[in-house]
Chain A
């Protein structure tokens, strides 16, 4: 249930991101989800990709600072109130979240990628409340 996310340190330089997506394209690695946290002069790119280990390896080879981070993928209904219900469960149970980002997949479902202090606790809480979680097998083709 723990999913591998690719985190990349990116300097704020023209073309740096394009360089990265080019490398992934060349190696036939698909990007399922993607977010950038931006600070003053750098950004942190977080991605869910197909074959994360291979992606990390080729990016490192090209001089990128890469880290594989564990995250949880939570599937919620793609309709008003869907995210709210899920977040209510998380906050009611006092689970600390470091960051999250979401993407809609298809007509009726959306996926929220969550990174928090204790992933196991997040998984436990969500499962207790019958929330659907993304499995490692299907995630990389989301």
Chain B
């Protein structure tokens, strides 16, 4: 598999590490135990198009959001995580 890193260009799979579903958002500090439980444990395992977290650890160290079809491995979009390459944006 090859992933087009928005910073580095197309690279081979070995440079990347997979984490999992990129959809769940870490709950706010006061969200309560159920919300955190949901975030930590209740994950979808989609047969089809999925948004995933990938880390370009063997390259530029950017975390990426990769839209991938888990059945065909077709990658339709790759975008940087909110905090990757974000120095042009104010804190």
Q: Do A and B bind each other?
A: no
Point out residues on A near B: beta carbons under 8 Å.
none
